[in-house]
Structure formats: structure tokens, C-alpha cells
Chain A
């Protein structure tokens, strides 16, 4: 990055992105604050058991207010750009459809791929910014030897968000800054205090931004009702790993691999969801030992540190956000399919989640578990 450039900061109204804006401004860059309005939090409020109040959520008026106040305080121009239509098409709709197909989606990755590092990056460049900075905990570096932009894990591994960023292309990475990559969360809060930001103590957001309260089943009901659609009937049989039908279930979207509660059957030993079949509407259950698997297949793969995968590669693979990367070998088995073979069987490999490949702190790439 040049000494002084024009940087658009994606401001969510939270402490991380606010601190990024304040830091970059203090470093002498020309900073433009942008907030993406992605979802109307009032749209489903109070509907079908959804919470009435949605304060303190991303895209709520409170967050826009907070971001605007920070921008005013540090003296940068600030704008809200509306991308609700694209967010609904590329994030919310797929989220609902994935669940209804028996998979467990990660909307944050879709949002990063389609909104934050695509749409927002385009708008940022259009309005004269050289790059976009966000409050993600991750690092970007250019590898001169291989001539590639690298995505790396941050200093604070407890806040590592690289799992959600595996879809970034070389072009996107070349125009992206993660200024918090070398900092810990307490350091960020301290910096926010030093910059006099009133929201230094604002709690972190945890849940999916458009699902207030975190109850995705209610969200799906409310969303479909809002669309004038009825919930498709995905009810079916509850089947054991040996093929025995032991009951019925209310719909595949109510389950996720590894789930134990809410199966509606009582047996001597604990039962878990082992597999969900969207096509046959079967939910297959079994003992804990059936949850372990040594292999997974990933599609819609994006490679970052390497241009292509010509021969098998030793990596560590993360299969969900809160998962310690596990040693494995990955190899290409199709034009857009990668087979990952773990050294040790992994518990609850879940279709719809991402498999992200690491080589030390470097993100090799990632794909969607099929």
C-alpha cells in the first residue's frame, strides 16, 4: 500500500471496523466510511415468533447510527450503500435452500464472496478508493517468489476469521486490507479507547446477522411466509445406519449433522444425526462412532496460495469455524472437486459447511463440503 492512499472502510458499527477507520485516518490516509445496508431487520420482526425488537444487530438503525457517529468523530465522509436485493439473492435465499436440502450453510462466507469483497469493492473503486479495509481478523501478504497474494491467519488465533474468507480471489486480495491482523481483541479495544471511540466496550456480535435470536428455523418459516411461499414438506423417516426405520421427523431443515437433541426417539444409547438426505428426506441416526469419517469431498473450490493442485498436498483442514485444523492430504479428483483424506477420522463432517485448507498460517484455499 502506498504511503497515503484512498481507502474505503467497510463499517459495521462495531468496535473492530470502527477502530480500523480511526487507525487508517490517524495514519494519514484518505478514508471513506461505507456501511452496506443488506437486510431490513424490521422486515420479519414480530412475524411467526420472530423477536419484535432487533436492536444491536448488523444493519439495524442502531448500528448505522454508531458507524455514522464514529465517521463524524474521526472526520471522514460516510455513506450507506444499499445492497439488500443482492444480499437476499446471493445469501439469504441460498441459506434457506441449503437448509431445506438437508445441508448446514455458512451465510458469512457467501456474504464475503458476493457482497463485501465483490459488490463493496466495486463500489469502493467506483467512488475513487484504491482498496477496501475491513475489521476481519486475518492477514494479507504478497508473496514475491510465487507472485501470489496470500491470505494468512491472524496473530489472535481465537478471533481467526480466515475460515469465512477462503473465497477471496487474487484480485480481491490485492485490493483488501485487514489492519487488525496483527492485533488481539483486547488490543483493538484499547486502541478504540485511545481514539476516544464511545463504542470501545460494545459487545461482539456472534450470531448470523439476519437471524436475530439465532433461531434459524423460525427465520425460515417467517421468510417463506413473507415471500408468500409455504414451507416445502421435507418430513420423512428417521433411519438407523443399518437401514431400520425407527420413527419420523418433521423436516430435514430441523437437523444438522452431529445433532443429538430433538430427534424425538428414546433409545438406550445416545443417538446422533449422522447424515441427512435431501433427496430421500431421510435423516440417518446412529451412535457417536458413526459420526467419524476420514474423507470429505469439496466442490466450488477456490485456491489462494497455489495456482493449481497438480499433485497431492499435505495440509491441515478446518471443517467448521470452531475446529482445530486437522492434518490431511488433499488431491484433485475432478475439474472442480477435491478429495481430502484426514490422518485421523474427524467428527461430524457437515455438508454445506466449508473445508478450508491451511499450510501453517497460510490459507491454501477452500471449498464447500458436499
Chain B
């Protein structure tokens, strides 16, 4: 069966160039980057070169990059590392659980946490951030792009508010990096996390930008790796891959590939919406990353649509990836004010660099077919069709 993958916000395939770049570091270039000898020097050079590529993508200095195991670690390191007992933290209701649960944990450790709402398009209001500031506010953690809707947050404005208030600002840019330009200076953040596998590097590697002069407590203790901010022998193949992926992402953005991807995404969206009634885009009208669309299909269970499409070879998701089935409707969509039924009827389509126009054409055929079948067999939809 021909398979089409439109779940790139869950993970992306490793690009062939990225795989080739990392391959030698599983074999002949195996050294520990901390070793004195030739082998160590070889991998040390690779790690530092990758650090420069990542810094180049984010507009910062190489010394401001800490390699991590991924987005979750970066978020936890930023939050736990910048906040102490008695501090106040501001975050939003649509953050990834890596941020929300880390903040919840802080709340259990004598910190105060404010969770800001979003509007019906899924955006945080910067004025609300300003109003939430307290004397003991230490950190604002607001994501750059939401993983479920792709909606971009007004991080530049929030960065200004943070700067004026003298408060640290962390942004989870896991779903933004590689998709839109990310410039830590323009954002004015003190910390920014990214994840390799969301941008065509492998799973298990990520990076956290920490602005020079920002004191951060490590999560791990051990060796003096990563300037004593992240102990543990470096994941050299992963780091090399992330460096390569960052380089490719930078080139692609310079070539305006993001606009091409937005066109593909828009044609998917339009193709579906012109054929399916009682459907709409969640977060419509808000600025979004170019690869994501989240669509509600009234009267169906998103879970069943995901399964039906998978059986036809199209991989999408309900947004909250959980192997044993999600119990709760998406916290993001609920925060945007969607009814439970509408939230549960929503499905996320997310494109990657490998996605072709042919893939989109096929999806535009498969989705309306599957929705029609689901609705024809949905007791609720039949009742409504009869009564209307």
C-alpha cells in the first residue's frame, strides 16, 4: 500500500543528507568528545561545528547552545533551571505537556504558577501576560508555535514585556524551528528549546538556547559537559545530525521553502473544506506555521477518522499522541473554547519537507471519502440529517 505521512508534528523522517552526515559517527568516528586523543578531537570538532550550525539557525552564539535529549528535556531544564522556591511563573493553557506538567510540578514545590487563557484562535494576549506579572515573577514560558494547531504566539511582544519587567522569558520553539525564522534576539528570550526529530534529525537529540549571562541550574550532575550545564557524554551522532538539519533548515528558509509548504498546506485545507460540509480549521485566521492544519469534522470521532485513514495509507493524528487512546479531548482545543464534541472531532494534518503535491492530492481524495463513511454510520449524524 502506498503510504502518505502527514503527521510531521509528531516526528519527521530523517533526511538522507542528515543520515549521511551522522553515519560516520556510529562507526569510524566513535571517540568520546571529551577525550584528549585523536578520536576525541575528531568528535569534539564535529560537536562544536554542529553547535555553530544550530546557533546560526537561531541567531545566537555557539556558546549559548546546550545540547539536550530533546524538547522535553530542554523545557524542563529551562523551567526547573531558572525558577526557585517562592518564584512566580507565567505560562499558557496551550503549552505542550512538557511545559505544563513541569510548571505543575513547580506548583507542588512552593512556586506560584499562572496559566493564561488563549482567545478562540488559539493565541495568548500579550497584555494578559503584562497583567499577570507579580513582584516575584521570575519566568514567562510561552511557546512559539502550538503543536496541535500550528498557531504562532506573539513571542516578540511577550519578549518586550519580559525585558521591561526584568523577567526571564523561555519559549518552546520545538514546532517553530525549521518551519519559520527563529531569531532569539528578535524574540528577546532568555531560553528557547528545540527538538531534532521535529526537524528531520533523529529522535533523542535537541538543544536549549540559554542567553549568555543567564544563570541556569542543571538537571543532571556529573561531568563538566556543555559548560557544566548538562552532564553526560554527548550524543555525538545525534548532535551532528541536528547540526546538519539546522543547516538544511536555514538554507530552506533562505530559499523561502516555507512559503511553498504553506501553499501545499493551503491546498490540502481548501481541498478538504470544499468537499466536506460542517468542517472548519481550528485557529483559522491566526498566523500559523506553514506545515500544520487542524480541522474539525462535526459528528465524527477524530480517533475513528485517524484509524480509517491509516487503513487507507494516510497517517494523521488527533493531536494528542497516546497509544492507548486519548481519554480527554485536546487541552489546546478546549482552551480555545471548542465544545468537547468538536474538539474530539478534530484531526491534525502536518506536512514535512518530504511531502509532495501528489501526497496532498491523494489526501484530498481520501479524507472526504473517509469522513462520508464515518458520518453515514454515525447515529448522531443520521438523527440530525433526518430532523433537519
Contact = CB atoms under 8 A, between A and B. Distances in A.
B324 A126 contact: no
B166 interface: no
A122 B377 contact: yes
Contact of A80 (B323, B374, B377, B379): B323
Nearest to A122: B377
A81 B303 contact: yes
Interface in B294-313: 300-301, 303-304, 307-308, 310-312
A125 interface: yes
Given A123-B304, A126-B373, A82 B378 contact: no
Chain B interface extent, by class: 10 to 19
Interface of B: 300-301, 303-304, 307-308, 310-312, 323-327, 373-374, 377-379
Interface in A1-33: 32
Given A79-B307, A123-B304, A127-B304, 9 more contacts: A40-B327, A80-B323, A82-B324, A122-B377, A126-B300, A126-B304, A126-B374, A128-B311, A128-B312
A30 to B, nearest CB: 9
Given A127-B304, A127-B307, A128-B311, A81 B325 contact: yes
Contacts of A61: 324
Contact of B303 (A40, A64, A82): A82
B376 to A, nearest CB: 9
A128 B308 CA distance: 7
A77 B303 CA distance: 15
A84 interface: yes
A77 B307 CA distance: 10
B369 to A, nearest CB: 10
A37 interface: yes
A85 B310 CA distance: 24
Contacts of B324: 37, 61, 64, 80, 82
17 contacts: A37-B325, A77-B311, A80-B323, A80-B324, A81-B303, A82-B325, A84-B327, A122-B377, A122-B379, A125-B377, A126-B300, A126-B308, A126-B374, A126-B378, A127-B304, A127-B307, A128-B312
A127 B378 CA distance: 12
The 4 tightest CB contacts between A and B, nearest first, are A82-B325, A127-B308, A126-B374, A37-B325
Contacts of B308: 126-128
A37 B303 CA distance: 13
B21 to A, nearest CB: 32
Contacts of B378: 122, 126
